[in-house]
Amino acid sequence: IEEQLKANLKILNEELIEKIEDHQDFMGDLSFFLFKVHKIETEISCADIKKYFDNYKDTIDRIRKKYIEEKPILINYLRLLLIMNNCNEVGHIRRASWEFEGVLFSLINNRNHLNTEDFKELCSLDNNERILIDFCKNKIFGKAENDEIFKLDEFSTEKFIKGWLILKVVNAENENVCLAFYDGNETGVSAYVDKNSNRLITTEDFSWGNSICGFGVRSGFGSGNYVHYTNNDFWLNPKIIDTPFSEIAFDKKNRTKEQIKKNNEKISELIEIIYNRHELSKNDTEKKVYNDIGSLNLR
């Protein structure tokens, strides 16, 4: 049936089908655009195919080309949706220390998204920026709630990095900026496996406000293996991933408990945006966790 549909589509709209087959991700294979065939054995129209392809170009291709001028917020949420679907997975970085793990946020170096239900559904929507953003938000925030991403009493680098990126994307939306297209030297957004090594002030307990993600540096690209953070010129810039959200001084010797408190308050506001404005359900225990997160020490 699939091969027959392909042949019929080429007869109906040869130019469109050739454009799709020439795309680097499909290399002559239309299977992705015919995913409905695997669910219901029926014809698929050229109008549907065009919708899928237009959405594909406006999502994956937009990320690949770093074309952000028109739709920076959409680009942020699209990159995050791919992470939340494990298209790139948090884990050990090749030729890097086992003391930290990371994930590529801006680089698409596989076709894993083609097999995710979320992405298939995304490509079937009307090509409208607001619709695409809202779809991404609902999927991302729903996964965050189900996986208790912001509840780090049982710490893992996966939860920490995903939570950090969610907060960064929501903050970037508030500031109307696109997060920088940067993945280190293909090491990705990184954090230490030992949660206390991610603290901004080492004498204070680990919390969201007293922590930071950076980018991994592996042997052969500098002096050893470690997680690197941005320099003073970009510190506290909302476009930058590896910097705190507010208040924290760049020089370690100038950091204070009061700055940590302010940073926690900022993060608490961002989490409230996620769980209140988007009306995700929470039970009473979860409400207390998220409402108290500004002062919560996550041991």
Q: Can you give the pLDDT at residue 15?
A: 85
Whose tokens are 């994930």? That residue is 103
Give burial (CB, 10 Å; 0-12/13-18/19+) of 182: middle
Low-confidence ranges of the chain (pLDDT < 50): 36-40, 221-222, 280-299
CA-CA distance, 6 to 34, in Å (whole number)? 8
Domain boundaries, the chain: 1-44, 46-295
pLDDT of residue 1: 62
Which pLDDT belongs to residue 48?
Answer: 79
What is each CA distance from 179 to 74, 79, 158, 190, in whole angstroms?
Answer: 11, 10, 20, 16
Supply the pLDDT for residue 35: 54
Instruction: Give the CA distances from residue 252 to residues 117, 200, 297, in Å, rounded to whole numbers and listed in that order.
Output: 44, 8, 20
Rounded to two decimals, the pTM is 0.86
**pLDDT at residue 92, rounded to an integer:** 92
pLDDT at residue 240, as a whole number: 97
Question: What pLDDT does 31 receive?
Answer: 67
At 45 the pLDDT is: 74
Q: Are 198 and 192 in contact (CB under 8 A)?
A: yes
Per-residue pLDDT reduced to its tens digit, 1-49? 667 777 777 777 888 888 888 888 877 667 666 654 344 455 667 787 8
Q: What is the pLDDT of residue 37?
A: 38
